[in-house]
Amino acid sequence: MAAWATIDQVEDWLGITQDQRMVDALDASLAWCNRTRPDLDAAVAPSADVTHAVVLFAGILYRERTSPQGFSTYDALDTSTFTDQSAMLSIYRLLGTRRPVAR
């Protein structure tokens, strides 16, 4: 099975070294992303956007334990937190899901 993302990528994204919670978050992210995109072969490395979505989701899962209401960010609109909803919209876009289908 090809790794859609690695723990090293998640460490780099979060800027901290791994612990078991980060490994668990990456495992959960990989499982969810594989279920969300069953059309992609789990044994083949995906495109960069899918890999980045896995890393982003793993980061959210890791951070939510300490900040269930959202986590701080720098925002021109001064909303002060980056909510899971807006983060998930980016992840869905990167994964290429929730696109309209012609009937």
pLDDT in tens, 8-30: 999 999 998 888 999 999 999 99
> What is the predicted pLDDT for the residue at 22?
92
> What is the predicted pLDDT for the residue at 67?
64
CA distance 35 to 40: 10
Q: Which is nearest to 70 in space by CA: 59, 57, 58, 84?
A: 84
Instruction: Say if residues 56 and 13 touch (Cβ distance below 8 Å).
Output: yes
This prediction has a pTM of: 0.74
Count of alpha carbons within 13 angstroms of residue 24, beta-carbon side: 8
